Chain A
Amino acid sequence: MSETVLAVERLTKHFVETVALDEVTLALRAHEVLGLVGENGSGKSTLLKILGGVVRPDSGRILVRGQAVQFSGVADAIASGIGMVYQEQSLVPNITVAENILLGQEGSAVRWGWYNWKQLRQQASIALHQLGLDIDPMARTESLSFAERQMVEIAKVLFLENRRHVAPIILLDEPTSVLESKEIDTLFGQIRRLREVGSVVFVSHRLGEVLDVSDRIYVLRNGRCVGEREAKQSRHDDLYEMMIGRSPGQSYYHEESRLPFDEGRPVLSLDGLSARKRYSDVSFEIHAGEVLALTGLIGSGCESVCRTIFGAEPFERGLMRLEGVKISPGSPADAVAMGIGYVPAERRIEGVVGGMNVAANMILADPGVAARRGLLDFRRWRTLVAGWIERLRIKPASPRADVTALSGGNQQKVVLAKWLLRSNLKVLLLDHPARGLDVGAKTEVYALIRRLAQQGLAVLLLADSIDEAIGLSHSVVVMRDGLVSGRFSASPGRKPLEAEIIKCMT
Chain B
Amino acid sequence: MAARLQSLGATGARFLSDQAPLLALLGIVIGLTIATPSFLSARNLVVVGTEASVLLVAAVGQTFVILLGSIDLSTEGVMATSSMVVALLVANDRTHLSLGAAGILLTVAVGGGFGLVNGTVHAVGRIPSFMVTLGTWYVGIGIATVLFAGQTPVIQSALTTGLAQTRVLGVPPLVFIAAVSAAIGIVLLNWTRFGRYILTIGGNEQLAQLAGVPVTRYKILAFSLAGAMNALAGILATAEIGNGSVTVGTGMVFATIASVVVGGTPLTGGRGGIWNTVIGVLILTSIADGMILAGTGPQIQQSVQGAVVVIAVAASSWALRKRLRVVK
Contacts and interface: CB of A to CB of B under 8 A. Distances in A.
A74 B210 CA distance: 9
Interface in A106-123: 106, 110, 113-115, 117
Interface string B297-315: 0000000000000000000
Interface stretch (B117-125, B150-158, B194-202, B232-240): B194-202
Contacts of A311: 323
B323 A92 contact: no
A61 B213 CA distance: 31
Given A92-B200, A95-B199, A103 B208 contact: yes
A92 B323 CA distance: 26
B203 interface: yes
B204 A93 contact: yes
B324 interface: yes
A94 B196 contact: no
Given A74-B210, A307-B324, A93 B203 contact: yes
Given A91-B207, A92-B203, A106 B324 contact: no
A311 B200 CA distance: 35
Interface residues of A, number: 25
A349 to B, nearest CB: 9
A332 interface: yes
Given A110-B193, A115-B196, A312-B324, 19 more contacts: A74-B210, A75-B212, A90-B210, A92-B204, A93-B204, A93-B270, A94-B199, A94-B202, A94-B203, A95-B200, A103-B200, A104-B213, A105-B211, A113-B192, A114-B191, A115-B193, A314-B323, A331-B323, A332-B323
Contacts of B191: 114-115, 117
Q: Which 8 A-B residue pairings sit nearest by Cβ, starting from the closest?
A: A104-B212, A104-B211, A94-B203, A92-B203, A103-B211, A94-B270, A312-B324, A113-B193
A103 B211 CA distance: 6
A113 B194 contact: yes
A228 interface: no
Interface residues of B, number: 22
Interface string A301-322: 0000001000111100000000
A277 to B, nearest CB: 13
Contacts of A115: 190-193, 196
Interface in B166-204: 190-194, 196, 199-200, 202-204
Contacts of B199: 94-95
Contacts of B270: 93-94
Interface in B206-254: 207-208, 210-213
Interface in A308-347: 311-314, 331-332
B271 A94 contact: yes
A468 interface: no
A304 B217 CA distance: 41
B192 A114 contact: yes
B323 A312 contact: yes
Contacts of A331: 323
8 contacts: A91-B207, A92-B203, A93-B203, A99-B196, A104-B213, A115-B190, A115-B191, A332-B323
Given A92-B200, A93-B204, A312-B324, A103 B213 contact: yes
Best-buried of A93, A95, A106, A331 by chain B (most CB within 10 Å): A95
A106 B202 CA distance: 19
A91 B211 CA distance: 10
Best-buried of A91, A99, A106, A113 by chain B (most CB within 10 Å): A113
A115 B192 CA distance: 5
A192 B213 CA distance: 32
Contacts of A75: 212
Contacts of A92: 200, 203-204, 207-208
Contacts of B204: 92-93
Contacts of B211: 103-105
Nearest to B205: A92
Nearest to B204: A92
Nearest to B270: A94
Given A90-B207, A92-B203, A94-B199, A114 B324 contact: no
Contact of A332 (B194, B271, B324): B324
Contacts of B192: 113-115
Interface string B245-265: 000000000000000000000
Nearest to A96: B196
A312 B271 CA distance: 27
Contacts of B212: 75, 103-105
Interface string A285-309: 0000000000000000000000100
Best-buried of B210, B211, B212, B270 by chain A (most CB within 10 Å): B211
Contacts of B322: 312-313
A114 B323 contact: no
A304 to B, nearest CB: 11
Interface in B143-165: none
A293 to B, nearest CB: 23
A152 to B, nearest CB: 13
A21 B192 CA distance: 47
A92 B200 CA distance: 7
Interface string A390-412: 00000000000000000000000
Contacts of A307: 324
A307 to B, nearest CB: 7
Nearest to A99: B196
A313 B199 CA distance: 32
B163 to A, nearest CB: 29
Nearest to B214: A104
A384 to B, nearest CB: 28
A94 B200 CA distance: 7
Contacts of B203: 92-95
Contacts of A312: 322-324
Contacts of A110: 193
B323 A313 contact: yes
A99 B200 contact: yes
A272 B211 CA distance: 47
Contacts of B208: 92, 103
A105 B210 CA distance: 12
Nearest to A89: B207
Contacts of B196: 95, 99, 115
A114 B270 CA distance: 20
Contacts of B190: 115
Contacts of B271: 94
Nearest to A160: B211
Contacts of A113: 192-194
Contacts of B207: 90-92
A253 B163 CA distance: 77
A331 B325 CA distance: 12
Interface string A264-297: 0000000000000000000000000000000000
Nearest to A314: B323
B323 A106 contact: no
Nearest to B271: A94
Contacts of B193: 106, 110, 113-115
